[in-house]
Amino acid sequence: MANIEHVVIIGSGPAGWTAAIYAARANLKPLVIAGDGANRERMPGGQLMFTTEVENFPGFVHGIDGQKMMGVLQQQAERFGTRVLQNFVTRVDFTARPFKIWHINDLSGEAETQVLAQAVIISTGASANYLGLESEKKFENNGVSACAVCDGALPRFRDNPLVVVGGGDSAVEEGTYLTKFASMVYLVHRRDTLRASKIMAERALSNKKIKPLWNSAVEEVLGNDNDGVTAVRIKDLKTNATSVIECRGMFAAIGHTPNTAFLKGQIDLDPKGYIALKEPFRSTTSVEGIFAAGDCADPIYRQAITAAGMGCKAAIDAERWLAEQGID
Ligand SMILES: Cc1cc2nc3c(=O)[nH]c(=O)nc-3n(C[C@H](O)[C@H](O)[C@H](O)COP(=O)(O)OP(=O)(O)OC[C@H]3O[C@@H](n4cnc5c(N)ncnc54)[C@H](O)[C@@H]3O)c2cc1C
């Protein structure tokens, strides 16, 4: 008979590794399907593999390099017996138990393989949306960011003008947060009104440090290797006129895309694609035995520490659920 895993964890960011540490210490011998590295969304280690400094994860007085941090979490999970497959999940069948999960590796060319699981923890993250400019990519981690809470306090941004792109709730939140550090925040928005909720929009627009630039789009991020971002060139979408705004950072705040496409029709997702959690404070989903953790189920906080906390909850929920089913 085919081998049935106790717990399969899909995703290897802070949520996945934390779930693995807890599940492994509970003797569940978890299998982590970590991503195959074929693109940014599929990177083993998750989003922190793309950042040099993590200053707000408890336990690291002087901060820690994102890749180093994810390596340490993986080692900790492996120390207790976690097994790791650097593969990417293409589809699942959660309609009957054991659950079926198909995975591939596009880098090695490994064909689709199926694994069976009694319980599954999904921790596939949510990817920040960027504008898609070449120059934006060039200055990532050198003045371009998609997370004000993560990066706003870095020395390079303090007492300097910054640009936030977007007009929804997250742009207004990010812009307002950045006024703590910036000398001025330019809010670049394609329309002439904000899409954010009325109360948040009013608060932002009455903030003397926020200057909206309506009907505008960033055409190019300007700078050099030494200083990083020094300015952005924006275009007035009504007149086509361009102008240069001096700034030391550009924050893309145009939403996130949860990495949940492979789950459509299998478990309940919210309208934006985030996994809908069934009960407050828990990791349970619409399907018994399937648990969710981290940014893929969190449209609000999206931080490494909150993802790790959710991973802990998911492993404890999975362990208790398996015990209730008489599977140990
Ligand atoms: C540039 C940058 C800097 C940041 N800095 C900070 C910071 O300083 N502090 C902070 O707290 N937060 C920071 N964040 C946010 C933080 O990275 C996320 O909140 C956190 O990584 C979320 O963890 P997660 O485990 O939910 O998902 P992720 O870290 O996104 O991991 C998702 C995992 O799922 C895998 N995956 C996705 N789809 C599949 C699939 N179908 N099959 C198999 N695997 C799959 C991916 O390969 C990845 O391993 C930053 C984010 C970015 C982009």
β-pair partners for 188: 165, 213
- pLDDT tens per residue across span 147-176: 999 999 999 999 999 999 999 988 999 999
Q: Given this model, what pLDDT does residue 192 score? A: 95
In CATH terms, are 4-127+256-324 and 130-252 the same topology? yes
- Which homologous superfamily does the CATH classification assign to the domain defined by 4-127+256-324? FAD/NAD(P)-binding domain (3.50.50.60)
β-pair partners for 275: 269
Measure the CA–CA gap between 163 and 179, rounded to whole angstroms: 11
For residue 218, give the nearest of 292, 259, 267, 163 by alpha carbon: 163
CA 241 remoteness from chain centre: 35
312 is annotated as an active-site residue? no
Check residue 2 and give its pLDDT.
79
Ligand 1 pocket residues where CB is under 6 Å: 10-16, 33-35, 41-48, 50-51, 54, 56-57, 88-89, 123-125, 128, 146-147, 150, 259, 262, 294-295, 302-305, 307
Contact 232, 138 (CB under 8 A): no
Q: What are the tens digits of pLDDT across the range 168-227?
A: 988 999 999 999 999 999 999 999 999 888 998 999 999 999 999 999 999 999 999 999
Across 295-322, average pLDDT: 97
Tell me the CA distances in angstroms from 270 to 11, 84, 99, 267, 298, one per residue in order.
20, 29, 22, 10, 11
Ligand 1 centroid–CA 125 distance in Å is 5
In the chain, where the domains are located: 4-127+256-324, 130-252
Choice among 36, 65, 151, 328 that is catalytic:
151
pLDDT at 51: 86
Radius of gyration of the chain, Cα coordinates, nearest whole angstrom: 21
How much distance in Å is there from the Cα of 147 to the middle of ligand 1? 12
**Mean per-residue pLDDT over the chain, rounded:** 96
* Closest ligand 1 atom number to CA of residue 11: 34
Ligand 1 atom 6: the closest Cα is on which residue? 150
Dump pLDDT digits (tens) for 258-291.
Answer: 999 999 999 999 999 999 999 989 999 999 999 9
At 112, which helix (H) or strand (E)?
Answer: strand 110-122
Indicate the Cα dihedral angle 81, 83, 84, 90, nearest 10°. Answer: -140
Token duo for residue 189: 């928005």
Q: Which CATH superfamily is domain 130-252 in?
A: FAD/NAD(P)-binding domain (3.50.50.60)
DSSP single-letter state for residue 284: B
Distances (CA, A) of 139 to 191, 264, 323: 26, 34, 49
Nearest ligand 1 atom to the CA of 16 is: 25
Q: Which of 311, 317, 323, 321 is nearest to 70 (CA)?
A: 311
pTM beyond 0.85, yes or no: yes
DSSP state string for 59-72: T-TT-B-HHHHHHH
Say if residue 271 is exposed, middle or buried (CB neighbours under 10 Å; 0-12, 13-18, 19+): exposed
Nearest protein CA to atom 41 of ligand 1, as residue: 89
3-state helix, strand, coil in the chain (%, to 5): 30, 30, 40
Q: What integer pLDDT is reported at residue 65 of this predicted model?
A: 95
Query: Does 120 score more than 90 pLDDT?
Result: yes
Whole-number Å distance, alpha carbon 129 to ligand 1 midpoint, is 13
In sequence order, which ranges of 152-260 are alpha helices (DSSP H)? 169-178, 198-205
The reply to whether omega before 30 is within 30° of 0 (cis) is: no
Q: Which of 36, 147, 295, 317 is catalytic?
A: 147
| 105-130 b/e (C-beta count within 10 Å ≥ 16 → b) | beeeeeeeeebbbbbbbbbbbbbbee
Scanning 13-84, the segments in alpha helix (DSSP H) are: 14-25, 66-79
Q: What's the one-letter identity of residue 212?
A: P
DSSP-derived letter for residue 153 is T
Query: Where does residue 297 fall: left (phi above 0), alpha (psi -120 to 50 degrees), or beta otherwise?
Result: alpha
pLDDT category of residue 328 using cuts at 50, 70 and 90? confident
Q: What is the three-class DSSP state of 83?
A: strand
State the pLDDT at residue 52.
Answer: 83
Catalytic status, residue 147: yes
pLDDT at 1 > cutoff 90: no
Nearest ligand 1 atom, CA 294: 26
| pLDDT tens per residue, range 32-91 | 999 999 998 999 999 999 888 899 999 999 999 999 999 999 999 999 999 999 999 999
Active site residue 296: no
